[in-house]
Amino acid sequence: MMLHEMVAPCGLFCGGCPLFLAAHNSDIAEKLAARFQTTPDKVTCSGCRPMKGCSMPLHGKRCGTFECVEKKGFNFCYECDEFPCDKLAPAADKADSLPHNNKIFNLLRIKRDGLESWVEHYPMIMDRYFKGTMILGDGPTNPDKDSTDK
């Protein structure tokens, strides 16, 4: 699968998503199925682009952001004159477990540095988001790792 196919138009990386990982690892699928009280086949996804925005098997509907990007003929949200729109707005709900609040940051990094560089730095970005400490004036840092990616 091409790298472009692994990154959703909103800036989320399918390769780091538990639903994508479950499609390739039965142990992960079993754990997710138990967590969501369903069967392993219901918690797998092959990625946003390959599934045409239907990467939400637990919700059973197409992603509105994907539909918007597809309708406008863009590859990524940052190509739109309305970027950033409310579809990308951060929310406190599930911020401790989902990377959705990183969408705008991710898109701007993809635009600035390119897809390959962003994917290379993605583990550090996610590590900083989920394990980092917010230092006012300096932003999030992860003192346990060298996360000085600029």
pLDDT band at 54 (very low <50, low <70, confident <90, very high): confident
Percentage of residues of the chain with pLDDT beyond 70: 91
Read off the pLDDT of each residue in 29-36 and give the average, rounded to a whole number: 92
CA atoms of 98 and 95, how far apart (whole Å): 5
| Residue 145, pLDDT score | 64
Contacts of 80 (CB under 8 A, 6+ apart): 69, 72, 74
How much is the average pLDDT of 5-33? 91
Least confident interval from 41-45, 53-57, 110-114: 53-57
pLDDT at 43: 87
The residues spanned by each domain of the chain are 3-131
Mean pLDDT, residues 124-146 = 82
Report pLDDT digits (tens) over 56-74.
Answer: 666 677 889 999 999 999 9
**Which alpha helices (DSSP H) does the chain contain, by range?**
18-22, 26-36, 64-72, 103-113, 115-131
**Lowest-pLDDT range, 21-25, 31-35, 129-133, 146-150?**
146-150
